[in-house]
Amino acid sequence: MIGEVLVECAHMSCAYNSTLAIKNVDFTIRKGDFVGIVGPSGSGKTTLLKAILGAITPIEGHVTKKPQLRMGYVPQVESVDWNFPVTVLEVVVMTRSAMGRLPRVTKDERAGASLVLERLGLGGLENRHIRELSGGQQQRVFVARALFHRPELLVLDEPTSGVDVRTRHEVLHLLADLHDEGVSIILSTHDLNGLAAHLPRLVCLNSEIIADGSPVEVLTPEVLEKTFGAPMEVLIHGGMPVVVDGVGADIAERMSRLG
């Protein structure tokens, strides 16, 4: 069954100071979607997410959202100063800025935050300073903040950027669980094998949409070369595509000759 439309981008172009970041993007997110946006640095992935969030206004086309759509945004972990003097609890309830004006965290907020933190395996860490957490825990605190006001659509920017393999697995499992619970998800990633290949739907972006479909349909040498501008090979392992850097194989051959 096709889910209700949550966000629809129609002929959308966005620019920063007259430099075009994305052009003529037609893209729809439906209830129940779990979409990954892949593309090289500067391909417009974050711009697309920000346009969906309403943080930037398209210069052409438009973004239509379901009325009263609740969205949660998880930025890159590197985007904030983790030395900032706040506790885990304070970060989680921050999204209630408009409602909770005064410094005091209410009983209801504390109970709600504790539930979300418990759910994400961060129970008991409410009063810890954010710097004391591991990389994976920091990422989950951001997810907890986004989940605190029960979003219908979760938007994540590079959720596995700069994290180790174990944390990447944790994040992937967490997102899969949230998706199973009915949260629609869109994320951007560089990580083709570790994250993108596991998602049900992928969009390849390089200023414009190159391909949109399942990983098997999208992760092909032709699409990848058009998206990343570099040759790549694709192997099928256990029914899943595995992307191999074409230049890497060439370098390996030259290195073996040196040896």
Partner 1 sequence: MSFVLSGIFTPFHYQFFNNGIIVATIAGALCGLLGVFVVLRGMSYIGHGLSHAVFGGAAASAVMNINYFVGAGVWGVASGVIIGRIARRRLIGADAAIGVVTTASFALGLALLNRYGQAKKSIEAVLFGSVLGVNTIDIVAVSAVAVLSIVLIVSLYRAFLFATFDPEVAQVSGVRVAWIEALLMGLLSLTILVTMRVIGTLLISALLVIPASVARMLTNSFARMLWISPVIGAVSSFTGMYLAYFLDTSASATIILTGTLMFIVVYTVTGLRGRTRISGLHHI
Q: Which residues bind partner 1 (CB under 8 A)?
A: 50, 53-55, 71, 73, 75, 79-87, 90-91, 93-98, 100-103, 129, 131, 145
Q: Beta-strand (E) ranges in the chain? A: 5-16, 19-30, 34-38, 60-65, 71-74, 153-157, 184-189, 201-206, 208-213, 232-237, 240-245
User: Minimum distance between the CB of residue 50 and partner 1, rounded to whole angstroms?
Assistant: 8
User: Minimum distance between the CB of residue 175 and partner 1, rounded to whole angstroms?
Assistant: 18
Can you give the C-alpha Rg of the chain in angstroms? 20
User: Using CA of residue 6, residue 56, residue 15, residue 43, what is the dihedral sign?
Assistant: negative
Nearer to partner 1, 151 or 215 (CB): 151
Nearer to partner 1, 82 or 212 (CB): 82
Nearer to partner 1, 12 or 155 (CB): 155
User: Minimum distance between the CB of residue 62 and partner 1, rounded to whole angstroms?
Assistant: 18
User: Minimum distance between the CB of residue 108 and partner 1, rounded to whole angstroms?
Assistant: 15
Contact indicator for 9, 63 with CB cutoff of 8 Å: yes
Please give the Cα distance from 237 to 240 (Å, whole number). Answer: 5
User: Minimum distance between the CB of residue 230 and partner 1, rounded to whole angstroms?
Assistant: 30
Nearer to partner 1, 54 or 121 (CB): 54
DSSP, collapsed to helix, strand or coil, labels residue 222 as: helix
Nearer to partner 1, 91 or 197 (CB): 91
| 136 CB-near residues (< 8 Å, 6+ apart) | 163, 164, 166, 167, 170, 171
User: Minimum distance between the CB of residue 68 and partner 1, rounded to whole angstroms?
Assistant: 13
Nearer to partner 1, 101 or 254 (CB): 101
Please give the Cα distance from 220 to 222 (Å, whole number). Answer: 5
